[in-house]
Structures are given as C-alpha cells and as structure tokens.
Amino acid sequence: MREDHTPSELSRPLRLATIPPTGYQVEIAANPDECRALARRFGLPSIESLSCNFTLSREPGAVIRASGILSACVTQLCRVTLDEFPASVEERFSVRFVPAGSETEEFDPEAPDEIPYTGGMLDLGEATAEQLALALDPWPRKPDAVLQIQ
C-alpha cells in the first residue's frame, strides 16, 4: 500500500515472520500489466522490464535491512528534444523496513532510507517501485541531444 493509501501497482507482500534469522533472498519481477501501470504512475512512455533482487536480514527489534539490485529497461522522454528514447536503470541500494511510528526523526543523508510497515507485512513490490522512482533521471536527455537556440 502506498503512502496515499492507494493499492500499489506492484504489490508483493511478505510476512515478516517468514524471514529466517539467517536472512532471506527474493527476486521481484513486474509482469507486463504491472509495468504499464507503473509507467503511467511515473509518467513514462513505457517500462519494458523491471526486477529487483533483495537480500533481507534481521536487525534488533522488528527491523529488516534490505539490500538490493534494481534492473529496469524503460522508455523516457528527452527534456531537450521531446523524443522518446530507451534507457537502462541499474541501481544498488539499501533500505530499512521499520514498524510504522518508529522511523528515525533526525535526517541523516548517509543512513539508509526507512520504509514503515504495518501488520507484520513488508511490501517488496512497492519498495521496488519506489527504488525505480528514485533511480530515474529527473532530467532525461537522449544521447547526443542538442538544444537548438534560435
């Protein structure tokens, strides 16, 4: 579930209780319908593929550390030429799933982002979608695009 309480286009719930003390690995892959829905959400012409490999480990309390590798093939709109062009996204990241209400109050740019959860359920699909949003270039530029000034 997204912060605005609408269902995620890519929901992959995982019960906290299923994560063993020794850690857990899981791959999340979006199907074509999910890719189309996420492309609409992020204002992209298309998402051809999206996957994320998570490695989950327990921290003290009910905190889960997740490191991951996100891979996506997307079509973006060039901010210079307004042409569509393909782009690859490869991103390593680390986040912490924390019980809702226990998020760290102080901002630390070096600390992993915290994703609150409720009801003993993590949504690795929504976490994947959020990591894609963070990894996308906010000012995409087609290779060799030149701004024509007249």
| All structural domains of the chain with their residue ranges | 13-135
The reported pLDDT for the residue numbered 72 is 98
Average pLDDT in the 19-35 region?
A: 95
Residue type, 100: A
For residues 33 and 129, give the distance between their C-alpha atoms in angstroms, rounded to a whole number: 14
pLDDT grade for 5, boundaries at 50, 70 and 90: low
Distance CA 90, CA 58 (A): 25
pTM of the model: 0.88
- pLDDT for the residue numbered 27: 97
> 62-115, pLDDT tens digit by residue?
999 999 999 999 999 998 888 899 999 999 999 999 998 888 888 888 888 999
Structure tokens at 47: 């998402």
Asked if residue 4 has pLDDT above 60, the reply is: no
Exposed, middle or buried by CB within 10 Å (0-12, 13-18, 19+), for 118? exposed
Q: What is the pLDDT of residue 71?
A: 98
In the numeric block, the tokens 């390593």 are attached to 92
- 141: pLDDT confidence band, cut at 50, 70 and 90? confident
What count of other Cβ atoms lies within 10 Å of the Cβ of residue 62?
13
Q: What is the reported pLDDT for 2?
A: 52
Neighbouring C-beta atoms of residue 146, cutoff 10 Å: 9
Half-sphere exposure of 1 (CA within 13 A, CB side): 10
What single letter denotes the amino acid at residue 119? G
Average pLDDT of the segment spanning 12-34: 94
